Structure 1
C-alpha cells in the first residue's frame, strides 16, 4: 500500500485558522462525560465466536495525544438501543454486570428508532425465548419493522457499500487515516440480530410501566429516522433524546427538536442520547436543547428563505453561516452532519433532485460526460496537467472535479489515478466532518489499491409469468402476487382463481424469511423461477471509478 502523504501547506493553514476560532476554553463536556462513568473495558476489544475482532476501541488510543494531527426495580434492567451486533451487545451487558452485579435481569429492551446500530445487538442481551414467554418486552415506535426492513433489505447492499466509505471501514486508524466518524468512532462488524417488537408505541405522552419504572414517550417520526421516538423517565427526571439532540450537528432532512423542550424541558435534570454523554442540570438541559432546536431551525428556515429567492442547494450551502452563538457551540459543530450537506438535504426534501435548470434535466451519464470534457480540454494528458495545476494551487475541489473526468475516461491511467488519490487525501485531511474525511480517504485507498467490484448483469423478467399467494396468519391477510410486464405486483382484493403456490406464516416469519415458520403448498417451481429472476447485489460496486 502506498505511504500516505503529508498535509500540504494549504491544509495546514486551513486547520490552524479553524483551531484558532474554536472554543477550547469551554471544557464542560469533559465534566459531563466523566460524571456517572462506572467502568471501562480493558482491553476495549470485542471478538466473535471465531476469535475475529468485531470492535476495537483501543485502535484509537493515538487520539489521547494533546495536539491533534494536521490531518427503577433493583432486580430489573431496561436496555435502550442494544448496539449493532450480538458480540458488542453481549460485551456491553457483561461489562454492566461486572460493575453493577450480575443478579439483575433485563425486563425490557427499547429501540428508539429503526437504524441497525440501535437494535442489531439485541440477542447479545436477551434471548428470543425470554421474549416469547413474556418475561422481556421489546418496545419500539410505530413503523419500526417496516422501516428496519426497508433500509436494511430493500437498499441494504447499496447502503452497506456506501457506509463502508462513510465510516472508513478499510482505512488504517491513525492521524493519516480514520480518526472517527463524527458521531462516534465507527460501527462494529459481527452478527446483526433482531427480535420483533412486542409493544408498539403510537402516540406522544403514551406511557407504560416496566417493573415499577414509569416510561413516557414522545413520537418523533421522520426526524433522524423515519420511525423514531424519545423516552422520558419521570422518576429519574431523565430524558433519552435518541439521536434527535446530540453533541454534534446530525444528519437531517426535516426540522426537529422544538416540542421536546415544551414537554420535558422544565422537569428534566439529565438528557442523554444513544451515542453521546449526558448533559446534567435542569438549566443546562434547557440550554442544550435550545441550542439544538435553534441549530436545526436556523438551517432549515434559512434554506427555505434562500431557495425561495431562486438559489439551488449547493449555492445555499456555500453561503450558509451560522449565528455566532451556534458557531461557537461544540454541540453545533458539523462533525457528523455538516452545514453544507444538511442544507442540501433540506433543499432535496422540499424541491427534489432537480434544481430547475433545463441543462441539468437530461445530462449525460458520468462516463460520457467525462469523455466529452476530456476531449474539450484537449486529451487526458492536458486534463491531468490542469488537475495538477489546481492541486499545486491548493484548489483541491477543482482538482477533484477535473481529475474525476480523467479517471472516468481512462480508468487505468496511473498518473490520473495517483493524482486523484492525492487530491482526495488532501480533501480528507482538511475535513472537519468525520464522514467527509472517511469518504475522501476511502476514495484514496481504493484508487491506490484497485480494490473494486464488478457490476452484475440485470435480470430480464419481461417474458416470465408467476402467480402466488401469501397468507399472513396473525393479521389474517391474504396477498396475491404476480409478475406483470417485468414488475412483481400485489393486491389484497379477493381472488376467484387459485395461485400456483401459497406461502403461509406469521408476519414475523415471513418478514425474516424464517423457513421453519413458513408453510409452502403447491408448485415450488414458481418460487424457484422467481429466485432465478433475482439479480444478485454487488457489495463491492465502484464508487470513485466507472
Structure 2
C-alpha cells in the first residue's frame, strides 16, 4: 500500500492562513464538552461474541491543546479534539447521555427509563446502558423508546437496549415521527433500496478505508468514528406515531411534548420537550455543525427552509422556558439565553443558505456559480456551531438549487453531456497526453490543486491504466483533503488518492442493507428492493408469475399466510396483495426464507430445502427469474470509470 504524502508547503500555508478566519479565541466549547462527565468506557469495548467494537486509542494522535498539524484544517482539528470525548455524562438532573459516534440519551423519569435514540450498534448500545446502570446504581426498567428521526445511527442499536418481545407485547412503546408506514418506508427504504450504493459512498464520505492518523481520518465532525463503523444494525418498527405538533405522551411518569418536523434533516423527524426538567432536543435540526441539505453519501435532498421554519416554531413554543438543549450528536447547550441564541443562529444559518441560493438562481446563476459566491456573514459564520463539520456551504447551496429547480443546472451543454470517459478521450486526443500531464505537474507545483485534479481527470478517465496520471491526480486530491474543513470533503479526497494509488480495496466496511433491516421491511418495500435488482433489458424477454404466501409474525392465520402475487413482464417487476389465477408457481413460507429465495433464485432448490417451503407449480420459473436478477458489486469503482 502506497504511503501518504506529507502536506505541501502550499497546503501548510493555506491551513496557517485559515486560522485568521476562525474565532480561535473562543474556548467555551472545551468547558462545555466535559461538563457533567461521570465515567468513560474501557480503552477497548468488545461484543458478547468477542468482536472489537471500539478502540479509544485509535484517536490518540488528536491530542488536547495541540495545534493542528499541517495536514489538517485547524477548524476541523479543533472540532475533532472536542468530539473525541466519549463516555457517560449527566446533562441535568434526570437526563443523561452516553456519547459515542452518536448519542444515546437516557431520561431517568420517576417510574422508569425513557431512551431517546440508540446509536448505530447493538453491542455499543448495550454497553452504554450497562455503563449508566453501573455508575448510577440505577436498575429502573426501560419503559419507553423514542426515535427522533429515520437515520440508522439513531435506531441501529435498539436491540441492545430494548427487548423486541416487550415491544410486541405493548410493554415498551416505540415512539417515532410520522405514521408507522411512513417511518418504516424512510428508515428502511432509504437504507436498503439504495443500500449498496449508499454503503460504498459512505466508505468514501466517512473515511472508512483510511488510516487513523493526521494524514488520514480525523473524526467525522459530529462523531469520533473510533468504532471504525464496526456496526451491527438492528431495527424494531415504531408502535406509537407522532403525526402532529403538540401531541403529548406520559412516559415513566413525566410528560413529553412533540413538535412534528417532517422534511428537514430527515424525511420524518421531531423535536422533543420535557417540561419537568425544561429540556429540549431538536434532533439533528440543531447541532454543533452546519448540517447537510444534501448528504454526499446519498439521501433525499432536504428543505433548508423547513429547518429554519421548525427551529423558529420551537423557539416560539418553548424558548421562554428552555434551560438545556441536548442533541443526538455532540454536546449539550445550557442556559436559556445561550440555548435561544444557538437555536436562533442555526435558524438564520439555514434561512440564509436557502434565500441567498434562490436569490442567485433568480439572477440566472448556475448552482456551481452560486456556490462559489455565497459566503456566510460573520454574525453567523463566526459561530463554531455553524461551521462545516457535517454539511458544507458549497454543496448545500447547490443542494438548494436541486431541491427547488431539479438536476439541470441551467446550462444547455449539460442536458445531454458525453459520458465522462468519452469526454476524457476526446480531450486527450485534442490536447495530447504529454501536454495534459505537464499542465497537471505545473498546477501541483504552484499549489493549484483544484485545477490539477480537473485537468488530470481527463487522463485518468481516458486510460485508467495510466499510473503516472493517477499518481499525480492522487497527489492533488491528497492536498485538497488536507486543506478541507468539511470532514466529508477531506475523507472523499483522501480516499480518492488512496484508490488511485492502490486500486479498489475489497473490504466491506459497513452495509446499510443488512439482514435485520431487510427482515423489518414491510412486504411492499421488500418487493421494491427486489425490483431494483431486475435487469430491465434481459427481463423484457421474460415473463414470470408467482403467488407468494408470507407466514410468521404479523401474517394472517391459516396455512396460506399473507397472500401476494409478483410478476415480471416487459422488463418490470410488480407486486400486489392477493393471489392471481394464472400464476406459474405458488410458494409459501416465512419472510426471511422468501426474501432469500427471491433475491437469490439461482439457488432456489437449496433455499426451499433449507426452510422446508411449500411449493406448487413449474420449478423452471426460478431459472427464468435468476436470469434477470442482478448482483451488486459492493466495491464498485468511484475514482475511475
Counterpart-to-counterpart distance in 2, 1:509 and 1:141: 31
Counterpart selection for 1:337 from 383, 386, 391: 391
Q: Any conservation in 1 of the 2:287–2:327 contact (CA below 8 Å)?
A: yes
Q: Any conservation in 2 of the 1:239–1:268 contact (CA below 8 Å)?
A: yes
Pair 1:524–1:431, CA change in 2 (3 A): farther
Partner in structure 2 of residue 481 of structure 1: 566
Counterpart-to-counterpart distance in 2, 1:193 and 1:219: 24
1:458 shift after superposition: 5.0
- After superposition, what is the alpha-carbon deviation per residue over 1:518-546, rounded to whole angstroms, capped at 9, x for unaligned? 98664484466435532111110000011
Partner in structure 2 of residue 168 of structure 1: 207
Partner in structure 2 of residue 100 of structure 1: 136
Partner in structure 2 of residue 208 of structure 1: 249
Partner in structure 2 of residue 64 of structure 1: 63
Q: Any conservation in 1 of the 2:158–2:234 contact (CA below 8 Å)?
A: yes
Counterpart-to-counterpart distance in 2, 1:504 and 1:263: 52
Confirm or deny that 1:468 pairs with 2:546: yes
Counterpart selection for 1:113 from 138, 149, 155: 149
1:15 shift after superposition: 1.1
1:196 shift after superposition: 1.4
1:248 shift after superposition: 0.6
Counterpart-to-counterpart distance in 2, 1:419 and 1:175: 21
Q: Any conservation in 1 of the 2:539–2:569 contact (CA below 8 Å)?
A: no
Pair 1:481–1:4, CA change in 2 (3 A): same
- After superposition, what is the alpha-carbon deviation per residue over 1:434-470, rounded to whole angstroms, capped at 9, x for unaligned? 110000011111112122579x995721111122346
Q: Any conservation in 2 of the 1:300–1:346 contact (CA below 8 Å)?
A: yes
Counterpart selection for 1:322 from 368, 371, 376: 376
Counterpart selection for 1:366 from 414, 420, 445: 420
Counterpart selection for 1:229 from 253, 270, 282: 270
Larger mean CA deviation between 365-374 and 134-143 belongs to 134-143
Partner in structure 2 of residue 182 of structure 1: 221
Confirm or deny that 1:154 pairs with 2:153: no
Partner in structure 1 of residue 635 of structure 2: 540
Larger mean CA deviation between 293-302 and 71-80 belongs to 71-80
1:238 shift after superposition: 0.8
- After superposition, what is the alpha-carbon deviation per residue over 1:453-499, rounded to whole angstroms, capped at 9, x for unaligned? 79x9957211111223467896989654321211112456x887353
Equivalent runs, 1:40-439 vs 2, <5 Å: 40-43=40-43, 45-65=44-64, 66-71=66-71, 72-74=108-110, 76-142=112-178, 143-186=182-225, 188-252=229-293, 253-254=302-303, 255=305, 256=307, 257-378=311-432, 380-439=433-492
| TM-score scaled by length of structure 1 | 0.92
Q: Any conservation in 1 of the 2:568–2:574 contact (CA below 8 Å)?
A: yes
Q: Any conservation in 1 of the 2:159–2:234 contact (CA below 8 Å)?
A: yes
Pair 1:524–1:518, CA change in 2 (3 A): farther
Counterpart-to-counterpart distance in 2, 1:250 and 1:372: 39
Counterpart-to-counterpart distance in 2, 1:302 and 1:127: 48
Larger mean CA deviation between 123-132 and 503-512 belongs to 503-512
Pair 1:32–1:505, CA change in 2 (3 A): farther
Larger mean CA deviation between 98-107 and 344-353 belongs to 98-107
1:411 shift after superposition: 1.2
Instruction: Compute the RMSD of aligned alpha carbons.
Output: 2.9
Partner in structure 2 of residue 497 of structure 1: 581
Q: Any conservation in 2 of the 1:452–1:541 contact (CA below 8 Å)?
A: no
Counterpart-to-counterpart distance in 1, 2:29 and 2:363: 39
Q: Secondary structure at the match of 1:62?
A: coil
1:501 shift after superposition: 4.7
Pair 1:300–1:39, CA change in 2 (3 A): same
Counterpart-to-counterpart distance in 2, 1:509 and 1:207: 40
- After superposition, what is the alpha-carbon deviation per residue over 1:74-127, rounded to whole angstroms, capped at 9, x for unaligned? 452111111111121112122212212251221122111111111111111122
Pair 1:131–1:517, CA change in 2 (3 A): farther
1:508 shift after superposition: 11
| TM-score scaled by length of structure 2 | 0.79
Pair 1:373–1:49, CA change in 2 (3 A): farther
Which ranges in structure 1 are unaligned for 5 or more consecutive residues?
Answer: none
Q: Any conservation in 2 of the 1:138–1:199 contact (CA below 8 Å)?
A: yes
1:412 shift after superposition: 1.6
- After superposition, what is the alpha-carbon deviation per residue over 1:262-318, rounded to whole angstroms, capped at 9, x for unaligned? 222222111111011110011111100000000000000100110011001110000
Q: Any conservation in 2 of the 1:121–1:192 contact (CA below 8 Å)?
A: yes
1:396 shift after superposition: 0.5
Q: Any conservation in 1 of the 2:32–2:332 contact (CA below 8 Å)?
A: yes
Which ranges in structure 2 are unaligned for 5 or more consecutive residues?
Answer: 72-107, 294-301, 508-532, 557-561, 599-606
1:69 shift after superposition: 1.2
Q: Any conservation in 2 of the 1:176–1:429 contact (CA below 8 Å)?
A: yes
Pair 1:529–1:189, CA change in 2 (3 A): farther
Counterpart-to-counterpart distance in 1, 2:611 and 2:379: 56
Counterpart-to-counterpart distance in 2, 1:259 and 1:502: 53
Larger relative contact order, structure 1 or 2 (CA cutoff 8 Å, min sep 6) = 2
1:260 shift after superposition: 1.9
Q: Any conservation in 2 of the 1:48–1:190 contact (CA below 8 Å)?
A: no
Q: Secondary structure at the match of 1:59?
A: helix
